[in-house]
């Protein structure tokens, strides 16, 4: 049964209350040698007790129940382009591929055009109306500029857009990874259960990066049930909170899907008292967003902008498997909604002292 939410105090609503010191050397720059070789911190939110383990120990700590993962696939949506004047421009497509609505580009053969959202990064501001060249048969004309590099653009391409991105783009690794990309990133910045037909995320659901087929099989053999949702990870992952009162923060919408089979499994698990474990904050937001809007977990295709922080009700998720997140991030606030801010920050302090690896390619935390 899902625990009652932790009591909230005034400091839980302040952005500065989610700051913590993180040495740069603890920010993982590369994945572990093996996916399932990552460390696992197990936090009992009732007692605050912390146990150090490794990811392959996962089944030892979880009572058999339902495991829900996000099966979205990351696309190589970052393209290094250039202005017609020759200046370099970094283009990041932020519209999920399934929501790009192409039309035929006039005067071309096999040409397509669509309005998309993107992020631009360049030494000099790209003007509205300017075209950015993104490679062979791919370019973007800037229609409207927004804050913090956000733009609306007319994307024009020939052939198949996913193929164009595979040809011209790279995986959108987070900005705190300071090394050049390697061939390994194309495989390791992707979960082993990501479905090709669910391509569209611009960031990985990183809690799932630790899973191997062997770990999944061992869980099934131990009595666990597996279910999948889809949330196309979007710009919200990169968008910092810029207001001191976190209640003033506006979450960006992300598109999610819960298939009928998953909705049935969640309903059955809750009815039978079997715990629901969300693998990652994206799976948790999908389940909780739909439950908040519809009253329960039902088949769903649509948008969620749910923002979970202390005082918000957790309706579905009993246990949460996650990575270690950025200071002052909405992901850290979600953990605080689930386990209490002080409990989470105490565990993070131990993680820093024990030199756990942080962020996307880092270690894992299981909150019971």
Mean pLDDT, consecutive 10-residue stretches, the chain (368 aa), reads 71 96 96 95 96 96 96 94 89 89 77 91 89 91 87 91 88 91 93 94 95 95 96 81 94 94 98 97 98 97 95 96 96 97 98 97 98
CB proximity list for 284: less than 8 A, separation 6 or greater: 278, 308, 317, 320, 334, 338
Cα dist from 120 to 132, 141, 239, 240, 255, whole Å:
10, 12, 14, 17, 22
Cα–Cα dist 55/153, whole Å: 42
The pLDDT assigned to 3 comes to: 64
Q: Give DSSP secondary structure letters for 138-190.
A: EEEEEEEE-GGGEEEEEEEEES-HHHHHHHHEE----TT--SPP-TTHHHHTS
- Helix locations, the chain, DSSP H: 58-61, 161-168, 185-188, 213-221, 260-271, 281-294, 330-339, 341-353
How far apart, in Å, do the first and last CA atoms of the chain sit? Answer: 12
Contact status, residue 122 vs residue 89, Cβ threshold 8 Å? yes
pTM: 0.92
The pLDDT assigned to 107 comes to: 67
Cα–Cα dist 197/148, whole Å: 31
Cα–Cα dist 294/289, whole Å: 9
The pLDDT assigned to 104 comes to: 82
């Amino acid at each position: 049964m899902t625990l009652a939410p932790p009591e909230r105090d005034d400091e839980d609503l302040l952005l500065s209350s989610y700051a913590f010191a993180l040495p740069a050397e603890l920010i993982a720059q590369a994945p572990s040698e093996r996916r399932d070789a990552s460390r696992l911190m197990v936090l009992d939110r009732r007692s605050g007790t912390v146990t150090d383990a490794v990811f392959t120990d996962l089944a030892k700590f979880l009572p058999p129940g339902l495991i829900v993962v996000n099966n979205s696939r990351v696309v190589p949506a970052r393209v290094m382009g250039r202005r017609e004047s020759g200046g370099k421009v970094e283009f990041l497509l932020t519209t999920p591929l399934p929501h790009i609505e192409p039309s035929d580009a006039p005067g071309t053969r096999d040409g397509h055009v669509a309005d998309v959202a993107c992020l631009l990064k360049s030494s000099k501001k790209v003007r509205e109306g300017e075209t950015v060249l993104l490679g062979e048969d791919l370019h973007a004309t800037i229609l409207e500029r927004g804050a913090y590099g956000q733009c609306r653009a007319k994307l024009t391409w020939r052939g198949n857009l996913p193929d164009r991105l595979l040809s011209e783009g790279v995986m959108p690794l987070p900005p705190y990874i300071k090394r050049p990309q390697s061939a390994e990133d194309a495989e390791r910045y992707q979960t082993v259960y990501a479905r090709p037909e669910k391509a569209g995320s611009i960031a990985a659901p990183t809690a799932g990066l630790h899973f191997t087929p062997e770990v999944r099989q061992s869980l099934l053999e131990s009595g666990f049930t597996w279910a999948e949702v889809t949330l196309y990870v979007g710009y919200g992952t990169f968008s910092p909170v810029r207001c001191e009162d976190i209640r003033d923060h506006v979450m960006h919408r992300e598109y999610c899907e819960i298939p009928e089979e998953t909705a049935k499994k969640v309903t059955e698990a809750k009815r039978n008292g079997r715990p629901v474990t969300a693998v990652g904050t994206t799976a948790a937001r999908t389940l909780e967003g739909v439950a908040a809007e519809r009253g329960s977990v039902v088949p769903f295709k649509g948008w969620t902008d749910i923002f979970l922080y202390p005082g918000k009700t957790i309706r579905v998720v009993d246990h949460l498997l996650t990575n270690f997140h950025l200071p002052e991030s909405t992901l850290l606030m979600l953990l605080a909604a689930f386990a209490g801010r002080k409990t989470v920050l105490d565990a993070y302090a131990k993680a820093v002292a024990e030199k756990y690896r942080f962020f996307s390619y880092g270690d894992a935390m299981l909150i019971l």
